[in-house]
Amino acid sequence: MTDRLRKVFIIAGEVSGDALGAKLMEAMRARLGNKVSFEGVGGEAMAGEGLTSLFDMHDIAVMGFSAVIARLPTLITRINRTAEAVLDAKPDILVIIDSPDFTHRVARKVRAVRPDIPVVDYVCPSVWAWRSSRARAMRAYVDHVLALLPFEPKTLETLNGPKATYVGHPLFSTFPARKKGERAAHEKRRLLILPGSRRGEVSRLLPLFNETLKELHQRRSDLDLVLPAVPRLLPLIEASVRDWPVQPKIVTTPAEKIAAFACADAALAASGTVCLELALAGVPMISTYKLDPIARRLRFLVTTWSANLPNLIVDYPVVPEYIDEFIKPAGLARLLDRLLSDTPERAAQLAAFATIRSLMATPGDKAPADMAADTIIAMMRA
């Protein structure tokens, strides 16, 4: 590689991608110093690393079918503007981070005009869960995928997708392993209540969690509840838990959440990334989810055997998961009672979580951003 200035065009479309992008920019600067510049789309974290975003990232941070339809004219305008900006910048590499409904459309447009610009996709789309045909289609406009989950490179290979490298997950260091036999210095059994981070899922799950806790409270009176909440949903959550048999301690900051995970005995959780957080922190759990009406009708499109990341990583159903009509409060309470005690069910989950930490470790415990930066720098145009 020559000693000239390297130009990187980087696109993130949501908060999690913005955080990944900021860490990546920092890692690339640590290697290239003032010989690298960045243009693109990002949020506050990437702005903190010096990126001037082409437009407000929140213009493209939409989720759900109805939300996409409502914002479609804006999204199309932003896709075209971003692709034109990439072509004008003539970067040495294009890095797209998650948000595939936006970033992949930009990459396709760039590849059609400038096939010589390498394209790296940081965060593998969930081709292992649904629309697996996307993997093969990606080969036309993505040269390399940087995967956050250890099974994704093999999945892409099986589906004839682009080459992929596992670079590690940022959650791995956020939730350190609990020492064997370590337990919090509290007499009661601490149960985490994790109803999700979106208003719809929280509204659907909290009544179910209330009924489950009523059943559990009849079995044991030694419960200490902690509920990590998204601040914007605090009024909804506070109103919903007023009549619970045990009042939870509601925490809202990342530090409080990590501290709660470190001393929890078990968790009742909405299915999602939080289940991976719990596994890494060594907290046995039950995973639940109640779909909205539209998602329920589209459930047949899901091809994965599990919606729970810990199960997918170890490739067997160690974490019980219950969806929609299969959720029964009495059954959830019985299983939670088992997970809160020294039982074979609890031991099996803890053993699997140790395996997950082993599978997700990177060589020399290298940080994900460092792994990603090294791969991207090696792929830059000469």
In terms of domains, do 96 and 216 share one?
no
**Which domain covers residue 70, as residue numbers?**
6-168+362-379
Pairwise CA distance, residues 109 & 83, whole Å: 6
Phi, psi of 10 (to 5 degrees): -130, 135
pLDDT, average across residues 117-121:
98
Would residue 345 count as lying in a domain?
yes
pLDDT at 21 over 60: yes
The beta strands (E) that lie in 275-371 are given as: 285-289, 321-323
**pLDDT (mean) for 142-151:** 98
Longest dimension (CA), the chain: 70
Q: Looking at the predicted structure, is the pLDDT value of residue 237 above 90?
A: yes
If pLDDT is split at 50, 70 and 90, which confidence band does 117 have? Answer: very high
Q: Tell me, what's the pLDDT at 157?
A: 97
pLDDT of 182 > 60? The answer is: no
Say if 277 falls within a structural domain. Answer: yes
Contact 137, 114 (CB under 8 A): no
- The number of distinct structural domains making up the chain is 2
pLDDT at 179 over 80: no
**Whether pLDDT at 253 is above 70:** yes
The pLDDT of residue 64: 52
Q: Is residue 135 scored above 70 in pLDDT?
A: yes
Residue 336, domain member (yes or no): yes
pLDDT at 294 over 70: no
203 plus 350 within the same structural domain: yes
pLDDT at 103: 95
Residue 40 lies in a domain: yes
Domain assignment present for 284: yes
Type of residue numbered 22: A
| Position 304 confidence tier, pLDDT thresholds 50, 70, 90 | confident
Residues 118 and 209 in one domain: no
Mean pLDDT of the chain: 91
Arithmetic mean of pLDDT, 21-33: 98
Residue 315 has pLDDT above 90, yes or no: yes
For residues 367 and 372, give the distance between their C-alpha atoms in angstroms, rounded to a whole number. 9
Euclidean distance between CA atoms 139 and 247, whole angstroms = 52
Same-domain check for residues 274 and 305 = yes
Same domain, 92 and 118: yes
96 and 43 housed in the same domain: yes
Chain position carrying tokens 């019985």: 334
> Are residue 65 and residue 96 in the same domain, yes or no?
yes
Same domain assignment for residues 207 and 104: no
Average of per-residue pLDDT across 226-250: 95
Q: Does residue 337 sit within a domain?
A: yes
Q: Are residues 206 and 147 in the same domain?
A: no
Same domain, 252 and 206: yes
Q: With respect to residue 44, please indicate whether it lies within any of the assigned structural domains.
A: yes
Burial 220-247 (b: 16+ CB within 10 A, else e): eeebbbbbbbeeebeebbeebbeebebe
16, part of any domain: yes
- Would you give the distance in Å from CA 343 to the centre of its chain? 30
Q: Are residues 161 and 195 in the same domain?
A: no
- Please tell me the pTM assigned to this model: 0.88
CATH number at residue 164: 3.40.50.2000
Type of residue numbered 233 = L
Query: Quick one: 225 and 93 in the same domain?
Result: no
